[in-house]
C-alpha cells in the first residue's frame, strides 16, 4: 500500500459539530501487511482516573459517544474513545481489501498498547464488540471489566439456533440460516452507488436526529473515495462457519468463556439486530453470572444516540460497584 492509497479527512470537516467540544488526539497504529496509520481518539477526564475505552462500530465514529463522555468524566473517569481505522478522523485506506477483521483487531490492539492502557473498562457496541472482545482475548491483563451494549460475536455456531432475532447460525454439516434483513443490509452496502453513514443512523433512531447531527455522522466522508472502510466492514460479516471472521469469533468466544472478571450487558429494547446476544453472553461468560444486567428502554440500535446519558450512568455504576 502506497502513501497515496491512504486518505485523511480534512480537519475543517469537523469544525463546530453539535455537542462535540472535544480535542482531537492521535497515535500511530500498526497491522501486518499495511504501513503505520494515524488513529484518532478522544481522551477526556483525569489522566490518572480509571480508564473507560469506548468502541464504536459501523458506520459511526467517536461522535456517537458525545453524550456518554460527559457523564463518565463527571464520575471521575478517564474516557478514551478511538475512531476505528477508516472512520471518523482516523486514516482511511482507499482500497477496500486493506480492511480485514484481523487488521481491525490489530489496529485497536496497537492503539491500546501505544497508550499503555491498563485496568480498562471496555464498552463495546456494534462491531466494537467483535473487535474489542478479540483485543481483550489477546491482552486480558489490560482489561478489568466489560459493558456489552447492543453487540454480537460472529461465530455462525449451530448452538445459536433459536436464540437470536436476526438468525445467523450453522445447520447440519454444510448449511447456514441467515436472517433475510441481514442479507438485504449486506447487499445494499455492496451495491449502492453511494453510502451515507447518516442514513443508517437516521433509520434506526427512535427520535429523528437533527440535520446538523446527521451531517456530523457524514463529516468523515467528504466523498465516496473515503468510504472504502465503511463499505468493507459490512462485507466482513461472517455468514458461514468457514469464514475467517467466524473462526476469529469462535476463538474469542473461547476466551470469553474463561473470563471471570465483571461482564455486564446493557442492551436496548429496540434493536432486533442484536436481540438475544445479551442472554448468550450472560450464559456463556463466567463474569456475567450474578451481575445486574440492564435493559435500556426506548432506544434503538445506536443506544448512545437515543439514550447516551443513561448508558453513561450504567457504565459509571458498573465501574463504581465492581
3-state secondary structure of 192: coil
Please give the pLDDT value at position 1: 52
Overall average pLDDT of the 192-196 stretch: 95
The whole-model pTM stands at: 0.97
- Show the beta-strand stretches assigned E in the chain: 6-7, 25-31, 34-44, 51-55, 78-82, 92-93, 120-126, 143-151, 168-171, 175-178, 263-268, 294-296
| pLDDT tens track for 149-176 | 999 999 999 999 999 999 999 999 999 9
Catalytic residue among 41, 56, 104, 301: 301
Q: What is the pLDDT of residue 97?
A: 96
Beta-sheet pairing, 92-93 with 6-7: antiparallel
Q: Which domains does the chain have, with CATH numbers?
A: 3-321 (3.40.50.1820)
Catalytic residue (one of 126, 157, 243, 278) = 126
Told to judge if 199 belongs to the known catalytic residues of this protein, a careful annotator would answer no
> Can you say how many angstroms the Cα of residue 26 is from the centroid of all Cα atoms in its chain?
19
pLDDT at 194: 95
Is 2's pLDDT higher than 80? no
Flag whether pLDDT at 96 surpasses 50. yes
Q: Output the average pLDDT for the chain.
A: 97
Nearest CA to 207 out of 123, 315, 308, 295 is that of: 308
**% of residues, the chain, pLDDT over 90:** 97
Q: Which of 91, 106, 271, 278 is catalytic?
A: 271
Q: Is the peptide bond before 23 cis (omega within 30 degrees of 0)?
A: no
Mean pLDDT calculated for residue range 56-78: 98
pLDDT at 14: 98
The pLDDT-based confidence of 91 (bands split at 50, 70, 90) is very high
State mean pLDDT over 91-120: 98
Q: What is the pLDDT of residue 130?
A: 98
Minimum mean pLDDT range among 1-10, 107-116, 227-236, 276-285:
1-10
Q: Average pLDDT, stretch 176-198? A: 96
Measured CA to CA, the distance from residue 122 to residue 81 in angstroms comes to: 10
In the residue annotation, 169 being an active-site residue is answered as no
Q: Is 271 a catalytic residue?
A: yes
162: phi then psi, degrees, rounded to nearest 5: 80, 0
Q: How confident is the model at residue 3, as a pLDDT?
A: 47
Amino acid at each position: 500500500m502506497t502513501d497515496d492509497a491512504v486518505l485523511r479527512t480534512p480537519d475543517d470537516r469537523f469544525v463546530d459539530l453539535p455537542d462535540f467540544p472535544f480535542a482531537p488526539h492521535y497515535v500511530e497504529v500498526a497491522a501486518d501487511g499495511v504501513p503505520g496509520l494515524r488513529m484518532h481518539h478522544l481522551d477526556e477526564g483525569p489522566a490518572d482516573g480509571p480508564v473507560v475505552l469506548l468502541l464504536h462500530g459501523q458506520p459511526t465514529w467517536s461522535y456517537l459517544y458525545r453524550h456518554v463522555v460527559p457523564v463518565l468524566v463527571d464520575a471521575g473517569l478517564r474516557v478514551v474513545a478511538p475512531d476505528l481505522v477508516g472512520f471518523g478522523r482516523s486514516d482511511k485506506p482507499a482500497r477496500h481489501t486493506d480492511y480485514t477483521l484481523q487488521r481491525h483487531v490489530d489496529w485497536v490492539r496497537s492503539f491500546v498498547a501505544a497508550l499503555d492502557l491498563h485496568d480498562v473498562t471496555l464498552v463495546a457496541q456494534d462491531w466494537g464488540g467483535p473487535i474489542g472482545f478479540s483485543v481483550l482475548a489477546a491482552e486480558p491483563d489490560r482489561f478489568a471489566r466489560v459493558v456489552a451494549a447492543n453487540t454480537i460475536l460472529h461465530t455462525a455456531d449451530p448452538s445459536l439456533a433459536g436464540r437470536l432475532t436476526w438468525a445467523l447460525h450453522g445447520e447440519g454439516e454444510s448449511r447456514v440460516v441467515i436472517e433475510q434483513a441481514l442479507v438485504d443490509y449486506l447487499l445494499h452496502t455492496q451495491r449502492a452507488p453511494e453510502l451515507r453513514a447518516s442514513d443508517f443512523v437516521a433509520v434506526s433512531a427512535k427520535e429523528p436526529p437533527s440535520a446538523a447531527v446527521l451531517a456530523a455522522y457524514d463529516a468523515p466522508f467528504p466523498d465516496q473515495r473515503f468510504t472504502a472502510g465503511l463499505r468493507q466492514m459490512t462485507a466482513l460479516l461472517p455468514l458461514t462457519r468457514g469464514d475467517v471472521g467466524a473462526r476469529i469469533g469462535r476463538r474469542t468466544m473461547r476466551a470469553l468463556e474463561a473470563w471471570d472478571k465483571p461482564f455486564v450487558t446493557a442492551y436496548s429494547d429496540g434493536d432486533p439486530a442484536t436481540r438475544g446476544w445479551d442472554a448468550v453472553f450472560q450464559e456463556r461468560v463466567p463474569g456475567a453470572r450474578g451481575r445486574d444486567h440492564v435493559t435500556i428502554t426506548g432506544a434503538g440500535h445506536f443506544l448512545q444516540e437515543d439514550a447516551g446519558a443513561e448508558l453513561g450512568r450504567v457504565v459509571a455504576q458498573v465501574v463504581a460497584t465492581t
